[in-house]
Amino acid sequence: MEPKRIRVGVIGVGHLGEYHVQKYKAIPKADLIGVVDSDPARAELIAERYGTKVYGDHHDLLPLVDAVSLAVPTEKHFEVAKDVLSAGVHLLVEKPITYLIQPADTLIGLAQDKGLVLQVGLVERFNPAVVEMETLLTCPIFIESHRMNVFTPRGTDVDVVLDLMIHDLDIILHVVHSEVKELHAVGMSVLTGKTDIANARLIFENGTVGNLTASRVSDKALRKIRIFQQDAYLSVNCLKRELTVTKLDGVLRDANNFAQVTSNRIQFPGRDPLADQIASFVDAVFEGSEPVVSGRDGRRALQYALAIIDQIEKGSRRFQAVC
């Protein structure tokens, strides 16, 4: 007897949505039923490329599937996600979960009432270097993240906090087991009329400090997270999928009898965080388990992203010289 397969679809097959289609096609437990997009020509192209069917509207697809990925513009997340969950279909929604907290709460409540998986596409949580870093954490004292991108028009429907920084917010909120006590943020617009460069400092009740910087107008891409804790310094290069662990050697001493510092670099070649994320979603649907990045995780990241945006908006997003 052929093992059961999860019937899946993708709503929104632009740049990112196409990757979702590609990953589903490679999962033996997933049966790709079809795709939907507001651009019929784009939908036809993707359907032909990956051997699936086009549906003119997501309402036509939903009765035929068990689960879908949602990769439409953020302004459409709530409207379409509500339709998906109301139809009893499990949902992987790209980040951010919504623009605002109340709609996010509605989606979380709907998924809970219907016993559905609601996963948020904060893909960096599946980066193998980040996953390995988590296993080495004890009690972080200071966490610093830098996420820089060369400018591209993609993602400019939101500001840099919801576009880029939210990934690092999610990771930091996940690994620091304490509530945020203070938040300080600054930012400015460069090209888009929205905040393009932002810095935020989170101080947690347990004393941990997180410092996050994000820019989408950099001259090169950079995605690094550095963690200082009592027994080690951990440096994650998200782009290269590398983790460097620096700590005191328990044996080696220098001529003055000081302990020696040693570093070990761990590399994860060939790993695909998006493929791991989608496979994890399929597994959660298949097993009826809690997803790795739940709707509540997405809501918490959104909550602090909005607080950062609010603090930036209360200041000035346009650079003004002060000297």
Across the chain, mean pLDDT equals: 93
Residues in the chain: 323
Distances 116 to 88, 93, 187, 272, 277 between C-alpha atoms, Å = 7, 13, 37, 26, 17
Give the pLDDT band of residue 322 (cuts 50, 70, 90): very low
What's the confidence (pLDDT) of residue 299?
98
Its pTM stands at 0.92
Q: Give the whole-number percent of the chain exceeding pLDDT 70.
A: 96
Q: Please tell me if the domain spanning 6-122 has the same topology as the one spanning 125-273+304-314.
A: no
Helices (H), the chain: 15-25, 40-50, 58-61, 77-86, 101-114, 128-135, 160, 166-175, 273-287, 295-314
- C-alpha Rg value of the chain to the nearest Å: 21
How do residues 227-242 score in pLDDT, each as one tens digit?
999 989 999 999 999 9
Residue 323 is predicted with a pLDDT of: 40
For residues 186 and 308, is the Cβ–Cβ distance under 8 A? no
Give per-residue pLDDT as tens, 118-175.
Answer: 999 999 999 999 999 999 999 999 999 999 999 988 767 789 999 999 999 999 999 9
The backbone torsions φ and ψ at residue 222, rounded to the nearest 5 degrees and listed phi first, read -150, 130
CATH code for residues 125-273+304-314 = 3.30.360.10
CB atoms within 10 A of CB 151: 15
Q: How many CB atoms lie within 10 A of CB 40?
A: 11
Nearest to 282 by CA among 86, 46, 20: 20
Rounded mean pLDDT of 8-21?
A: 97
CATH number of 6-122: 3.40.50.720
Give bridge partners of residue 101 from the DSSP assignment: none
Q: Is 217 within 8 Å of 152 (Cβ atoms)?
A: no
Domain ranges of the chain: 6-122, 125-273+304-314
CA geometry: angle 86, 89, 91, nearest 5 deg: 100
pLDDT band for position 55 (cuts 50, 70, 90): very high
DSSP 113: H
